[in-house]
Structure 1
Amino acid sequence: MPGRAERGRPGGGMVTAPDPRAARAGASTLRAGGSAVDAAVATAFAVGVVEPYMSGLGGGAWLVVREPGAPVATTVSGPIRAPRLAHPEMYDVLPSAPGTGLYGWPAVRGDANIVGPLSVGVPGAVAALCRAHARFGRLPLGQVLAPAIELAEAGHETNWFASSAICGEARLLRDFPSSARVFLPGGLPLRGPSQGPGDPLIQPRLAEVLREIAAGGADAFYRGRAARAIATTVTEAGGLLSERDLAGYAATEEEVSPVAIGPLRLFGPLSTGVISVAEALLLVEAARERGLDPGPRLWARVLSRAFEDRLREVTTAEDGPAPWARLATPEYAGQVLDGWLSGRNSSPAAPGGPRRAGCTSHLSAVDGDGMTVSLTQTVLDLFGSRLVEPETGIVLNDGMMYFDPRPGRVASVAPGAAGLSAVSPVILTGPGGAEATLGASGGRRIISAVAQIIARWRDGADLQDAISAPRVHAEGDRVWLDRRDAGAAADLTAAGFGVAVVSEEPTTWHFARPNGIARRGGAGWAPGVDRMKPYGVGMPFDDRPDLPVD
């Protein structure tokens, strides 16, 4: 089945998504005459229904949109923001405890920045999706949301991936009655298919909120019944999110010029993980120019440096030009390589502490006119705050995990600030009409995955082969090495890294979960997906547009 979808056809559209039911929603939207943004928005809302533990109305979303042949792209961002009452001293930091959270910062008493009401930030996904639709959509919003509404109201079968996620978080979900009612009915996790179908997940309250958005757009969510319910639930439980936070939320829209990386041009929101993807790629380009082998040792050094720079410099401040933008320049890459070759800064930095995978949903869409869309959305951790708002059925994010809980740091909590997200939705162009849209889910591992896939695609691999090839992930002096590349372990150890040889399995998160769409020259669009996880590929010209789980 995968080979059938990969052939593509000139002039046809395509959607890739982390679930076939979501891909079907996007394909039906293309078939109805929708644009790539219509398809992406339809898919995104559907993804939030079929994998609510990854993303949805209670999280954030980032889109990159490029119109055919345009020299710039448009980013539409709806990051999770800190509530206006948030402040740098809001958490009781436990400096002697092992690091935790997405970035390995010191632990907080009770994991209050990760689980429960004090972890909830202002969700931006609905604002971003509705703004992108208003700018680039062709179909009525109600038509675009119809597949998601049907999936929520009629229900859908719990697949093995969802069942695994629910089982993994059951201990925390059971602490919140509203969450347990949805995902642990009768006290037991929803069961995936075994000798029969998986348990149905029916979400009528979520369907009603989707109907309200379909009729009234983002305002119906941020200033209506859902906003009142979310704010009431969070504040009564001891959190800081208010109706005022929700009513004042607005997505941002920006035209972005590409970052030149050798023969490629990369478009994306630099204030996300994209800045680190670009830095890593530019470091590899600089190494190529100096004759260095772009193998696992180089990638380990490059990724370690990119993460070190990220945590030391990158912020989401919106009050002027970002000084950290220099990280995505050939000049900076050249300086780093010169330092390495001369023996300066040759040792990897100390590790930053334990890492959480983080959980997101990525999807890609193209239409018959050549518009391309890359979209990543998230509730951040698996099941976000683990808190389901009972009146709306919305899984609320734990976006406060994005912030350093210590005052006086680069990424400390600040009222209204956007969190430092690792999402990396990108659009690429290259010589001879080459184009691609790409992204992944998996926390900080998104950055290493997207960078290495781009590098392989740049060297001529088709997107599916680039996604399926072995990868490494490195932070500080630690490297996670794909078992298929285990022969590189001795060389990495000699270079000063602690190496963990791991094997990616259907329910592991060592190397992220990517998908995308690409073409070269006059060829048709072809998808690339993580074949070990659930995925879907939808095409509007096909009588059977969705591709089942492989």
Structure 2
Amino acid sequence: MLENFSSSQIVRKTVVATKAGVVAAQHRRAAEVGAAVLDAGGDAVDAAIATSFAIGVVEPWMSGPAAGGTMVLWRAKEGKARVIDFGCRSPRELNPADYPLSGAGKSSDLFPWPAVVEDRNVMGATAVAVPGAVAGMDLAHKHFGRMPWKDLVTPAAKLADEGLLVDWYTTLVTAANARVLSKDPDTAKMFLDDGHWPIAGEWTSLAEKHLNQKAFAQTLLQIAEGGADAFYKGDIAEQLAKDVRAKGGCLSVQDLRDYQASIVEPLTINYRGGRVYATAGLTGGPTLGKALDILARELSPTKGKPNAATYAGYARALDAAFKLRFENMGDHESPKAPGSTTHFSVVDREGNMCAVTQTLLSIFGSRVVSPSTGMLLNNGIMWFDPEPGKPNSLAPNKRCLANYSPVIGEDAQGRRFAIGASGGRKILGAVMQLSSFMIDHGLNLEEAFHTPRIDVSGSGKITADQTLSAEIIAALEKEMPVIQTRRNIYPYSFACPAGVMRDGEMNMGCTEIMSPYGDAIAGG
């Protein structure tokens, strides 16, 4: 809802509580696919799997089968959280010597690593890592799913056969990246007109244009029929490895055959009489845990909207947590660069929950399309520091470090939520603040998502929502320099969250208020 007050605009998304399940995703059509699964009798995991494949079609620059990521899930009857890890890995044949430093300053993409010759770690087939998304969804289905696998993947294949509608937002995203998309002929063929200009829809007429995703649709049909084996051990693996190697990469059939997702214990963060279940290891979870630990010791929140002292506490906690992350994990992501992550959250009628983040890393990933499979590929190699001898240095067959941080949380009153976000390093601050808004301040989901946030990502300064009061801004300026900005549609100044909440038997969902297609859909 858009309300005009003189020269100001207030954007709101209304949250409606329901006893049905809810899927909250960055694209409404993907959320609708997940909600339809809930209607058909599926549980939260089934809906998450269907949403995962569907969102790779309608947000192809963000994720897809060639992505990596993680899922945090909650099983209501067991009262137990679990994590499914499906992060990317570097290929076994990768040779760090093939990524020599150019001496030309810093990389211009997500991570300000020392620049590599020809940006081989950033763009092109040499930047492609072993994907994990299909294996992660397969593992979730085998252990927790109810519905047939085919019924969960086929809707995405139908969306791809139809092709993504080219509208104003699709045109905006491709236009902003047209120069790099033109470097790969297959990518240019999919996203650009005449190999140079973004494909534009006829917005003033009834005519519609759709991206040609027919090859992708066939790949999804093969996955629907043959499961994860079709992707990692069948024809898709052969075609994918062949395409990547033909373009100069080192991904092999063996890399795909050997890949395994895993079920691991969550990082359990006890917080103010409640708890937050996060991802452990080389993710944003440990940094989130450190930030919440600092908040628990140093902040005494009051119910209602957070005040100046609260925001100053957020800034200190995030700054300290990121300093530890830089020292111990070798993460040096630029907080300004746009990532290509997507997040969605699901709750079903029984109270089962999923928080899922999956990513190609950069927007449009490696900017390479596999022509045989129709998939846009990740650039997971960029997660590694190209300088040797660092905590996160580039090496073969190595797990990628990532900033994603989906969580399942609950407050002292028993309200439970599943949240996460896209936005690179900005994710951590968003998840921490949203968790605090609900646990510390008692806000409901709608109130939390509409409350202004700050971002502190280790750069020594604070990015603050310009709608924050003068008192809050003054308190923040005592901590470190402040840059005031507004929430935008593109590019995002802050992370882009999606979440669901369960309060008693009532469920609700919400997405980033500035996300034009983000929506929460009820089903089941």
Same topology, TM > 0.5: yes
2:162/2:210 contact within 8 Å kept: no
Q: Which residue of 1 aligns with 2:297?
A: 286
CA distance, structure 1, for counterparts of residue 201 and residue 435 of structure 2:
34
Q: Which residue of 1 aligns with 2:523?
A: 540
CA deviation vs aligned residue, 1:113-172 (integer Å, no higher than 9, x gap)? 111111110000111011111111111111111210110012231243322211111000
**Superposed displacement of residue 268, structure 1:** 2.2
Q: Which residue of 2 aligns with 1:358?
A: 339
1:7/1:524 contact within 8 Å kept: no
Q: Which residue of 1 aligns with 2:278?
A: 268
Summarize the Cα distance change of 1:432–1:100 in structure 2 as closer, same or farther, 3 Å threshold. Answer: same
Check if 1:8 corresponds to 2:8: no
Choose which of 398, 402, 408 in structure 1 pairs with 2:389.
408
Q: How does 1:422-441 map to 2 (within 5 A)?
A: 422-441=403-422
CA distance, structure 2, for counterparts of residue 86 and residue 244 of structure 1:
13
1:61/1:129 contact within 8 Å kept: no
**Superposed displacement of residue 275, structure 1:** 1.5
Choose which of 413, 425, 433 in structure 2 pairs with 1:452.
433
1:100/1:353 contact within 8 Å kept: no
2:72/2:356 contact within 8 Å kept: yes
**Superposed displacement of residue 94, structure 1:** 4.0
Amino acid at match of 2:294: L
**Superposed displacement of residue 418, structure 1:** 1.6
Check if 1:462 corresponds to 2:444: yes
Amino acid at match of 1:9: T
Q: Single out whichever of 285-294 and 192-201 deviates more from structure 2.
A: 285-294
2:301/2:310 contact within 8 Å kept: no
CA deviation vs aligned residue, 1:55-83 (integer Å, no higher than 9, x gap)? 00111131111110534311111111111
Amino acid at match of 2:287: S
CA deviation vs aligned residue, 1:342-379 (integer Å, no higher than 9, x gap)? xxxxxxxxx98674231211111111121111111111
Summarize the Cα distance change of 1:501–1:193 in structure 2 as closer, same or farther, 3 Å threshold. Answer: farther
Summarize the Cα distance change of 1:13–1:425 in structure 2 as closer, same or farther, 3 Å threshold. Answer: same
Amino acid at match of 2:367: R
CA distance, structure 1, for counterparts of residue 80 and residue 329 of structure 2:
23
User: TM-score, with normalisation over the residues of structure 2?
Assistant: 0.91
Check if 1:384 corresponds to 2:365: yes
Q: Which residue of 2 aligns with 1:302?
A: 317
Summarize the Cα distance change of 1:121–1:9 in structure 2 as closer, same or farther, 3 Å threshold. Answer: same
Q: Which residue of 2 aligns with 1:236?
A: 246
**Superposed displacement of residue 299, structure 1:** 2.1
Q: Single out whichever of 414-423 and 86-95 deviates more from structure 2.
A: 86-95
CA distance, structure 2, for counterparts of residue 92 and residue 177 of structure 1:
25
2:299/2:310 contact within 8 Å kept: no
CA deviation vs aligned residue, 1:98-123 (integer Å, no higher than 9, x gap)? 35443422222222211111111000
Percent identity, aligned pairs only, is: 35
Q: How does 1:382-531 map to 2 (within 5 A)?
A: 382-458=363-439, 459-474=441-456, 475-485=458-468, 487=470, 488-495=472-479, 497-520=480-503, 522-531=504-513
Q: Single out whichever of 433-442 and 97-106 deviates more from structure 2.
A: 97-106
Summarize the Cα distance change of 1:434–1:379 in structure 2 as closer, same or farther, 3 Å threshold. Answer: same
Amino acid at match of 1:225: D
Amino acid at match of 2:256: L
**Superposed displacement of residue 4, structure 1:** 9.8
Unaligned runs of 5+ in 1: 317-350, 542-550
CA distance, structure 2, for counterparts of residue 405 and residue 491 of structure 1:
39
Choose which of 229, 236, 253 in structure 2 pairs with 1:219.
229
CA deviation vs aligned residue, 1:290-318 (integer Å, no higher than 9, x gap)? 999643333222212212211211379xx
Specify the SS of the correspondent of 1:81: coil
User: Across the two proteins, how many residue pairs are aligned to each other?
Assistant: 504
Summarize the Cα distance change of 1:4–1:163 in structure 2 as closer, same or farther, 3 Å threshold. Answer: closer
CA distance, structure 2, for counterparts of residue 285 and residue 105 of structure 1:
34
Specify the SS of the correspondent of 2:177: helix
2:510/2:520 contact within 8 Å kept: no
Specify the SS of the correspondent of 2:421: strand
Summarize the Cα distance change of 1:3–1:506 in structure 2 as closer, same or farther, 3 Å threshold. Answer: closer
Check if 1:199 corresponds to 2:209: yes
Choose which of 33, 41, 49 in structure 2 pairs with 1:41.
49
Choose which of 161, 166, 175 in structure 2 pairs with 1:167.
175
CA deviation vs aligned residue, 1:481-528 (integer Å, no higher than 9, x gap)? 111126344544443x333221121112221110100122x2511112
1:352/1:476 contact within 8 Å kept: no
CA distance, structure 1, for counterparts of residue 476 and residue 102 of structure 2:
33
Summarize the Cα distance change of 1:394–1:302 in structure 2 as closer, same or farther, 3 Å threshold. Answer: same
Unaligned runs of 5+ in 2: 2-10
Q: Single out whichever of 21-30 and 463-472 deviates more from structure 2.
A: 463-472
**Superposed displacement of residue 443, structure 1:** 0.7
Q: Which residue of 1 aligns with 2:63?
A: 55
Q: Which residue of 2 aligns with 1:106?
A: 114
Q: Single out whichever of 434-443 and 188-197 deviates more from structure 2.
A: 188-197
Higher helix share: 1
CA distance, structure 2, for counterparts of residue 352 and residue 384 of structure 1:
15
CA distance, structure 1, for counterparts of residue 493 and residue 291 of structure 2:
19
Q: Single out whichever of 84-93 and 443-452 deviates more from structure 2.
A: 84-93
**Superposed displacement of residue 531, structure 1:** 2.0
Summarize the Cα distance change of 1:502–1:95 in structure 2 as closer, same or farther, 3 Å threshold. Answer: farther
Aligned-residue CA RMSD (Å): 2.4
Amino acid at match of 1:309: L
CA deviation vs aligned residue, 1:248-270 (integer Å, no higher than 9, x gap)? 11111123362201222111212
Summarize the Cα distance change of 1:302–1:88 in structure 2 as closer, same or farther, 3 Å threshold. Answer: farther
Amino acid at match of 2:99: Y
Summarize the Cα distance change of 1:207–1:431 in structure 2 as closer, same or farther, 3 Å threshold. Answer: same
CA distance, structure 1, for counterparts of residue 481 and residue 13 of structure 2:
42
CA distance, structure 2, for counterparts of residue 121 and residue 418 of structure 1:
10
